[in-house]
Amino acid sequence: MKHYKIIIIGGGSAAMGAALKANETGIDAKDILIIEKSEYLGGILNQCIHTGFGLSEFKEELTGPEYANRFIVQIKEKGIPYLLSTMVISINLDKTVEIRSVNGDEILSYDALIIATGCIERSPGAIKLNGYRCAGIMTAGQAQNYLNNLGYLPGKKVFILGSGDIGLIMARRMTLEGAKVIGVAELMSYSNGLKRNIVQCLEDYNIPLYLSTTVKETIGKNRLEKIILASVDEKLNFIPGTEKEVECDTLLLSVGLIPNVNILSKLNLNKDKTGKFIIDEKCETSREGIYICGNSLHVHDLVDEVTKESRIAGYFAAKYVLEGETKDDVIPVTHNENVGYVVPNVLNKNYRGNVSIKFRCRRPMRNVTVIIKDNTNTFKSIKKMAIIPSEMQNISFNVSNDIDSYLNVEIKENE
């Protein structure tokens, strides 16, 4: 059985960032292994041929493949081994993984494991899209794959459900390819995409965005023929009488991304009461030596943020291999009702050093103060003019003493 000090599942930006950081922290390149299921390193960045990547990481605007390539070059330079077209079939409880490729089925052992498997798009089934399950309904990322990787246009009269960034990007992309993009409907009363994408992908092309609106029904036996739009109230229930028929041959879904972590189900990792994995400030799960980062931990808006987080996982996985476990009793990271979620959701009591707290607000708010505090001290108090759910917040601070009982993240509306 082959042994690696660190095995990384996934070959996208999170995986490469973690591998490089682990190497820099003192793990020999040859003791690290990246396992990627597709034929290329770079993950989903390869189909993101638009620009906007790398502004904070490289101070320039790169396309997805260009951003990925900056890391691929380094992986090759350092000589970090990677397997392509290789799938991790299972993660076993005895610090081994089963992998499969055209070369065979094999068990590998590891000291530390980093999960960097990215995310998947929520499917029509996951949002219980009603009506007929005909051709012409697909996720925006799938359409992006057909168009950018295979060179085929999935439809000519397109409607987009959900204002996630991939949907917005595809609205522009399909328009440029000669399709008519009729509009974008968003269930919430605010957009879920980045502001720059609303402007550059919709407004610049006169594509209307309908807020508090969703698709009630899809119609078409074999191929989509039309959809029924309807407005929703504050509780997201349909408002009777607001139904509107829209003729289209394609409905693209951009209704959110979910971490692709099914492979972890066998490990019985501890979860909090909302079902999220318990993750500490080192990106370590409840199982010693298993780390998780990037979009498989939580969905990020920008790949630059993924890279930052991957370095945390890579650094601490290396430290764990070199110095052994330093896990201690943990204290919870809690939040108030204006916060959707917080990563990490626990902190090790004995931890000293920099902590990045990442969170999203639950709804758009203006004139707020973000307060991070424990039972006795306030670590950070930051005023913000506006805060929106589609922009992840990342606040760092230094921990030099024991945190008292808990850490709480609070968004307060100012008087």
Residue 135 touches another protein, criterion: CB under 8 A: yes
Among 156, 244, 352, 363, binds another protein (CB under 8 A): 156
Can you tell me the distance from the alpha carbon of 54 to that of 33, in angstroms, rounded to the nearest whole number? 25
List helix spans (H) across 54-133.
Answer: 64-78
Minimum distance from residue 352 beta carbon to another protein (Å): 37
Q: How far is CA 82 from CA 4, 13, 43, 406, in A?
A: 12, 14, 13, 40
Residue 381 touches another protein, criterion: CB under 8 A: no
Minimum distance from residue 403 beta carbon to another protein (Å): 32
Stretch that binds another protein, among 8-16, 120-128, 331-339, 352-360 (CB under 8 A): 120-128
Contact 193, 163 (CB under 8 A): yes
- Classify residue 365 as exposed, middle or buried by CB count within 10 Å of its CB (0-12, 13-18, 19+): middle
Minimum distance from residue 385 beta carbon to another protein (Å): 35
Stretch that binds another protein, among 117-125, 285-293, 308-316, 344-352 (CB under 8 A): 117-125
Residue 44 DSSP class: G
Residue 189 touches another protein, criterion: CB under 8 A: no
State both tokens at 252.
Answer: 């693209």
Residue 226 touches another protein, criterion: CB under 8 A: no
Residue 131 touches another protein, criterion: CB under 8 A: yes
- Tell me the per-residue interface mask from 17 to 46 with another protein, x by CB under 8 A, - otherwise: --------------------x---------
Could you say which residues in the range 74-93 bind another protein, by CB under 8 A?
A: 85, 87, 89
Minimum distance from residue 7 beta carbon to another protein (Å): 17
Minimum distance from residue 128 beta carbon to another protein (Å): 5
Number of residues that bind another protein (CB under 8 A): 59
Stretch that binds another protein, among 63-71, 130-138, 351-359, 386-394 (CB under 8 A): 130-138
Cα-based torsion angle of the residue sequence 261, 356, 169, 239 in order, rounded to the nearest 10 degrees: 80
Contact 374, 406 (CB under 8 A): yes
- Closest to 392 (Cα-Cα) out of 354, 346, 361: 361
Among 95, 216, 282, 311, binds another protein (CB under 8 A): 216
Stretch that binds another protein, among 19-27, 51-59, 133-141, 397-405 (CB under 8 A): 133-141
Task: Tell me: cis bond preceding 124? Omega within 30 of 0 counts.
Answer: no
Looking at beta carbons only, is 142 or 191 nearer to another protein?
142
Could you say which residues in the range 265-294 bind another protein, by CB under 8 A?
A: 265
Cα-based torsion angle of the residue sequence 109, 113, 117, 119 in order, rounded to the nearest 10 degrees: 140
- HEC string for 162-213: CCCHHHHHHHHHHHHCCCEEEEEECCCCCCCCCHHHHHHHHHHHCCCEECCE
* Interface with another protein (CB under 8 A): 37, 85, 87, 89, 98, 100-107, 120-121, 123-126, 128-136, 138-139, 141-142, 145-147, 149-156, 177-178, 216-219, 221-223, 238, 249-250, 258, 260, 262, 265
